[in-house]
């Protein structure tokens, strides 16, 4: 998408010059767009045909369950599941769709309870396996991939590669006749929550975003020695990286090096307080645990401060909300799930 836009703009400029005319206007690139372009430059790769397949379709209670796959890049087939009420798939109309992204160690099937609830409520509900999860690998594969990414500083199995997969998932969903391509929401848990706010920040096709137990400031965590629990989500891969460097007791300085090679920019220009404002003015509900050690509440508040300012500036203050679950650690309560459902109902259905 970014390449198409830049190609069109460049072509128009060259035509003007070829005619002997001097360009009369300059295209202003906003700081927000510069940030989006910078992250797209990291995760962008050649688009291949989706080559989507429907591997199976069956009844799941009162719902229809479809297993599908598509290509996100030349070497990656992404498996997914879609749940919907049968009449929604057959009425010839387009319907709002919700993507649910799992956390570390999870899979598309681990999100079946949420998918089922969303589908019963009238949404088309979809989930995919992230890189090295579910049908795409095991936890050991994931950690090995993280260690390789540290070594080559080219691949990005932690967050960024799955963001690309989600963008290609949106391409796939927009090709389906039952999906309203202008009403696609994304909700993610933990790792999937980070992938949610990153995707929503750079892809305007995400109409509504709900990142759960994932909003944070990586920079704040580094500055206040509160990075240990976040690193703990990929501890084995991190340890392999440290061992390769001959480091027995990694400190914040090494964590920065790790981030720079595996998820470059995550504690600077692509940190939570910088990226969440880019979602404005689209509806954004942030769900966090008051006592979440992986996402310290102090970092959550920094995200809230910057996002709130952006939404107020855009005249869309009512489209941003932060739900802090009291006395809750790294988990999403039943009440938070209900709030997420209401948020999607309000902004995707109405």
As given in the structure block, the two tokens for residue 222 are 């580094």
CATH of 53-349 given 3.10.129.10, 3.40.50.1820, 3.60.15.10, 3.90.850.10: 3.40.50.1820
Residue 16 has pLDDT above 90, yes or no: no
Determine the Cα–Cα distance for residues 201 and 303; give it in Å rounded to an integer: 13
- Mean pLDDT throughout 252-275? 97
Of the pLDDT bands very low, low, confident and very high (cuts 50, 70, 90), residue 27 is: low
pTM: 0.91
Angle between helices 191-202 and 31-43 (to 10 degrees): 120
- Mean pLDDT throughout 300-319? 98
Q: Does residue 64 contact residue 86 with C-beta atoms inside 8 Å?
A: yes
As a whole number, the mean pLDDT across the chain is: 92
Determine the Cα–Cα distance for residues 266 and 30; give it in Å rounded to an integer: 20
Its sign, for the CA torsion 283, 268, 224, 252, is: positive
Angle between helices 2-18 and 31-43 (to 10 degrees): 110
Give the model's pLDDT for residue 214.
98
Q: Does residue 204 contact residue 246 with C-beta atoms inside 8 Å?
A: no
Q: What percent of the chain has pLDDT over 90?
A: 88
Which class for 297: exposed (0-12), middle (13-18), buried (19 or more C-beta within 10 A)?
Answer: middle
Determine the Cα–Cα distance for residues 311 and 151; give it in Å rounded to an integer: 39
Of the pLDDT bands very low, low, confident and very high (cuts 50, 70, 90), residue 13 is: very low
Name the residue ranges covered by the structural domains of the chain: 2-43, 53-349
């Amino acid at each position: 998408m970014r390449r198409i836009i830049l190609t069109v703009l460049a072509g128009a400029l060259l035509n003007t010059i070829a005619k002997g005319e001097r360009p009369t206007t300059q295209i202003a690139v906003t700081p927000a767009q510069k940030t989006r372009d910078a992250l797209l430059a990291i995760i962008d790769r050649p688009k291949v045909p989706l080559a989507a397949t429907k591997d199976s379709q069956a009844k799941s209670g009162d719902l229809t369950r479809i297993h599908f796959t598509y290509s996100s890049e030349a070497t990656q087939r992404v498996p997914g599941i879609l749940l919907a009420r049968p009449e929604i798939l057959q009425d010839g109309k387009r319907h709002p769709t919700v993507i649910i992204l799992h956390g570390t160690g999870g899979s598309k099937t681990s999100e079946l309870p949420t998918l089922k609830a969303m589908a019963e409520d009238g949404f088309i509900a979809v989930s995919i396996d992230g890189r090295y999860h579910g049908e795409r690998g095991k936890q050991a594969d994931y950690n090995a991939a993280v260690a390789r990414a540290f070594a080559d500083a080219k691949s990005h199995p932690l967050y960024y590669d799955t963001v690309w997969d989600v963008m290609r998932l949106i391409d796939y969903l927009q090709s389906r006749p039952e999906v309203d391509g202008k009403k696609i929401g994304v909700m993610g848990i933990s790792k999937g929550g980070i992938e949610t706010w990153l995707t929503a920040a750079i892809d305007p096709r995400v109409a509504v975003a709900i990142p759960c137990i994932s909003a944070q400031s990586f920079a704040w965590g580094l500055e206040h020695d509160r990075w240990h629990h976040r690193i703990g989500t990929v501890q084995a891969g991190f340890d392999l990286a440290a061992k390769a460097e001959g480091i027995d007791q990694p400190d914040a300085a090494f964590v920065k090096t790790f981030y720079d090679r595996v998820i470059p920019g995550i504690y600077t220009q692509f940190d939570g307080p910088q990226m969440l404002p880019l979602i404005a003015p689209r509806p954004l509900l942030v769900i966090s645990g008051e006592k979440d050690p992986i996402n310290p509440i102090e970092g959550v508040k920094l995200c809230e401060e910057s996002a709130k300012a952006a939404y107020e500036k855009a005249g869309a203050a009512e489209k941003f909300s932060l739900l802090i679950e009291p006395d809750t650690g790294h988990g999403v309560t039943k009440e938070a799930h209900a709030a997420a459902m209401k948020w999607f109902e309000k902004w995707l259905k109405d």
